[in-house]
Amino acid sequence: TRCLSDWSSDVCSSDLLVQDSHTLTDGSRLQPDVVIRLPESKHLVIDSKVSITAYTNYVQADDEQAKELALNQHVASLKQHIQGLSAKNYQDLYGLGSIDFVLMFIPVEPAFLAAMRHAPDLYQDALKKNIVIVCPSTLLATVRTVAHLWRQDQQNRNAQEIARQCRSEEHTSELQSLR
């Protein structure tokens, strides 16, 4: 099975839905870039349609004024993308099986870092809209963390069910001994 990366066996191709298309009741269509199936029939949506045109202009700018303008445009583009993602409500596509946030993947690490340096509140502003901004160095760690949390949750529920069944069996045994 092909895995998300060569150094991760946590997320393999059988767990990935790429360009999973959904037609809504109003006829509009939503198509997240990647949906990762997690334990417990949960889904993690990753969007990677971030434009880095303004960032490219920033890198190629010759003077400080042009750089500042391009960097402002880069941050504005990311803010606009965050707003658009939030309005799509991707997390509603999978109902109760969805995590209540979407990962917004910025595929160019320096573009992510420049935006975070220039607009330190950007990350928190995105979180308030249920968007988690990730880049190449944080994506896999984030996916692994979320998958681990879902596994822990399942193990906790299994332990609770075992304890409930044991209590029920003990209660049944006590009732039988009273007879």
Q: Is the CB of residue 107 less than 8 Å from the CB of residue 48?
A: yes
Q: How confident is the model at residue 124 (pLDDT cuts 50, 70, 90)?
A: very high
Structure confidence at residue 113 (pLDDT): 96
pLDDT digits 0-9 by tens, 51-66: 899 999 999 999 999 9
pLDDT digits 0-9 by tens, 1-36: 334 444 344 444 446 777 777 777 777 777 788 888
Residue that has been written with the tokens 């509603």 in this structure: 92
Q: What b/e readout covers 39-48, taking b as 16+ CB neighbours within 10 angstroms?
A: beebbbbbbe
Structure confidence at residue 101 (pLDDT): 82
22 versus 50: the higher-pLDDT residue is 50
Phi, psi of 20 (to 5 degrees): -70, 110
CA distance 108 to 134: 10
pTM value is: 0.72
Asked which of 15-19, 99-103, 104-108, 119-123 is least confident by mean pLDDT, the reply is 15-19
**159 pLDDT exceeds 70?**
yes
Between the alpha carbon of residue 136 and those of residues 5, 76, 139, 142, 143, the distances in Å are 11, 21, 5, 10, 12
